[in-house]
Every structure is written in structure tokens, then in C-alpha cells.
Amino acid sequence: MSNTTINNDTNQIGLETTEISQVIAKLNGLLSSYHMFYINVRGYHWNVKGEHFFTLHPKFEELYTALQIQIDEIAERILTLGGTPLHAYSDFAQHTSISEDKNVKDGTRCVNGVVAGLQELIEEQRQVSALAIESEDQGSADLVDAYVQEQEKLVWMYTAFLG
């Protein structure tokens, strides 16, 4: 039998539950945005046409494959914090900061959609990071900060493609 006292004011990793509940809510919003962006990028991959098809089709696949991994990592972080990740499309649609981008086929419009989605994710992740730091949740801040650094480079690259 352990002599450890359970503190109802902290979660399983020792963070204040009241403060961390706000981080969980922000992470669930971010998870929703990632799902919407993932769906948009899958659509770009499937539907892109035109002279840049052979360049963009594999780049979009590369991007949505990375998004799948990040989605899983965000959901697992929510679980680590003691929360429940959203998992229904209706929840994602309600909590996302990214709009659906339907029936886009033109390569330039697809890339513009990628850039806009990445910019939105970056902004949302900066908010998550700031709140996580304020809540002494270094793990969540580190997770999203790494995504921001990677996505800032992608914004630069996709913007360079656009000229």
C-alpha cells in the first residue's frame, strides 16, 4: 500500500486541474482545427488538377500524413492531462477555427488554402502555448511549439511556390 496522498486539486501528472481544464479545452479546439485542416488537405490531394498536379499531389499527401500523426499526438496529450479528446465530426465542426474548403481543384487555390490553414493553426497553437505556460504545462507548450516551428517553414515554402 502506498503512502502517497491523492490530491483532488491536481491531475495525474501534478498539474492544477482547474487551470489545466482550460488547456484541455484549447487543445480540443486545436484538435478540431487539425481535423478540419486534414479533411481540406485530403480534398486538395484528391482533386488538384492542372500543370502542377505532379508536384502538389505528393506534397499534399506528405502534409496530410504528418497531420494524422499530429492529430494523434494532440489527442494523447489531452488524455495525459486527464481530459477526453473530441472524436465526433459534429464536435470538430463546432469547435474548429478553420473553415471547410470544398470542391477546390485549382493548384493555386489549393496552395492558398494550405497556407491559410497553416497560418490559422500557428495562431491557435501560439494561444495554446501561452495558456499552457501560464498553467505550468510545459509538455503541451513544447508539443505545439514544435508544430509552430515546422509549420512556419511550410508557410514560407508554400508561399514561395505561389511566387
Average pLDDT over residues 106-129: 98
Please name the residues in contact with 62: beta carbons below 8 A apart, sequence gap of 6 or more. none
Instruction: Give pLDDT, residue 4.
Output: 45
Count of domains for the chain: 1
Round to whole Å and give the CA distance between 11 and 20: 8
What is the extent of the structural domain holding 26? 17-162
Number of residues that this document lists for the chain: 163
Tracing cell 492544477 back to the chain, one arrives at 16
CATH code, domain with 136:
1.20.1260.10
Q: Do the domain assignments include residue 150?
A: yes
Q: Do the domain assignments include residue 5?
A: no
Q: Do the domain assignments include residue 4?
A: no
Alpha helices in 14-137 (DSSP H): 17-47, 53-80, 89-95, 107-134
Q: Do the domain assignments include residue 117?
A: yes
Q: Do the domain assignments include residue 114?
A: yes
Confidence of residue 7 (pLDDT cuts 50, 70, 90): low
Q: Do the domain assignments include residue 118?
A: yes
Q: Read off the pLDDT of residues 18-46 as tens digits, 9 standing for 90 and up.
A: 889 999 999 999 999 999 999 999 999 99
Measured CA distances, 3 to 6, 7, 13 (Å): 10, 13, 17
Q: Read off the pLDDT of residues 143-153 as tens digits, 9 standing for 90 and up.
A: 999 999 999 99
Q: Do the domain assignments include residue 3?
A: no
Q: Read off the pLDDT of residues 44-99 as tens digits, 9 standing for 90 and up.
A: 999 999 999 999 999 999 999 999 999 999 999 999 999 999 999 999 999 999 99
- Residue type for position 96: T
Q: Do the domain assignments include residue 39?
A: yes
